[in-house]
Amino acid sequence: MKRVESDPHMFVATKVINREKKTLIIPIYVDDLFPFGNKVLTDNFEAFIPNYFETTPPCDAHYFLGIRVTRSRAPLSDTTIRPYISLDQITFIGKVLTSIKEFYPEHKITNRRTVLPAAPIEPNTQPKMFTDPKHVRRFQSAVGQLMYIMLATQPDLTYPVGMLARHASHPSPDHEKALLHLAGYLRHTAERALVYREPAKSQEKPGLVEAWTDADWAGEEHSARSTSGMIIYKNNSAITWGSKRQGIVSRSTMESEYIALFTTTNHIVLIFALETQFGLEPLRPYIWCDNQAAISIATSGGMNFKCSRFMNIKYHWVRKAYEGKEFYINYVESESNVADLFTKRLPPNTLKYLRSYFMEDYFARDSVKEYEDSEEED
């Protein structure tokens, strides 16, 4: 067993069984272990570890850090059914909605089909000395709870939670209204889950990693800064996602898209390194971008645009990674770019369409029943 170089909180073990290489991966979070991989190696590890540490009896994972794990194993007689694992936080979401309702008892949480109100979210113009510290703490607590849901199982919350977090130190009544709007959206989508299926036998490249990247140029009106967004899939299931306000003011759409491509490339290269250190043989990943100018700069090997001469040189690491054959990059139409969801507020139908690429409806409703009497609004 050895520590993974790219993540010191993870260990990996490999062993040849019946002339096949088997792998066991052990991520560690404080005092929680989550071994997964080959069943023989997993059973051996679960029998070995109690000799050195006090542990709870091993069993199939059902809950891990508030995340419910549901496993469906296909019967051997039916080869048309693909086994899957789903992740959801429906119980935790119910507790968060109750908590937000207690924070703001004067307001009603109603279903929403959009993540944020249509009005732009602007900074609070009132001096901080006039802001009630209790209001600040309850806003920060609510945003923090939503952030954990976003990081674990609800990628579609990434942009709105990030937007609210920008104003967490000095929230205004408008920010609180936006928070309640997002709570209504969470209530509307609480029954959805992330699902990870075994690759189909007909799948051409099982294990392929693909990333979508996008940017909303100067989308934050008061600062003229852009927002980068990305989502990365493995076997057509989302494994990581992100939305972040860019650190500089981009001078063009191309520059903002190129910066977003830089961020996505960092994650793609890390995932490739992790898979290599796990003892796997990863395929070269794909990145999908909807800006031809950014793709051209990354792939041409030269400065084709005058404005690219003025960009920070660190962003041109993307070109070096491409020349090193660390990934492919292809063009995708903006309408089909899933990463668009991580850069801006979208209308209901577009949001629903893009969300379907990484989340599926779920059946459990046990923790959100108390909200079923609320009317639905956009």
CA-CA-CA-CA dihedral for 301, 259, 214, 151, to nearest 10: 130
Q: How many CB atoms lie within 10 A of CB 62?
A: 10
Structure confidence at residue 1 as a pLDDT band (50, 70, 90): confident
User: Is residue 79 scored above 90 in pLDDT?
Assistant: no
As a whole number, mean pLDDT of residues 118-123 equals 93
Structure confidence at residue 374 as a pLDDT band (50, 70, 90): very low
Question: pLDDT tens digits for 28-38?
Answer: 988 888 888 88
pLDDT at 285: 97
**CA 20 – CA 4 distance, rounded (Å):** 21
pLDDT at 370: 44
As a whole number, mean pLDDT of residues 280-301 equals 91
**CA 113 – CA 364 distance, rounded (Å):** 20
pLDDT at 228: 98
Question: pLDDT tens digits for 163-192?
Answer: 999 999 999 999 999 999 999 999 999 989
Contacts of 335 (CB under 8 A, 6+ apart): none
Least confident of 165-169, 199-203, 290-294: 199-203
Burial 235-250 (b: 16+ CB within 10 A, else e): beebbbbbbbbbeeeb
Least confident of 126-130, 332-336, 372-376: 372-376
Token digits for 234? 């493995």
pLDDT at 365: 44
Q: Where are the domains of the chain?
A: 1-59, 64-191+362-378, 205-357
Question: pLDDT tens digits for 87-112?
Answer: 999 999 999 999 999 999 999 999 99
Structure confidence at residue 151 as a pLDDT band (50, 70, 90): very high
pLDDT at 372: 44
Structure confidence at residue 363 as a pLDDT band (50, 70, 90): very low
Of 90, 176, 97, 114, nearest in space to 140 by CA: 176
Q: Are strands 111-112 and 209-220 parallel, antiparallel or unpaired?
A: unpaired
CATH level 3 topology of 205-357: Nucleotidyltransferase; domain 5 (3.30.420)
Question: Are 351 and 160 in contact, with CB atoms under 8 Å apart?
Answer: no
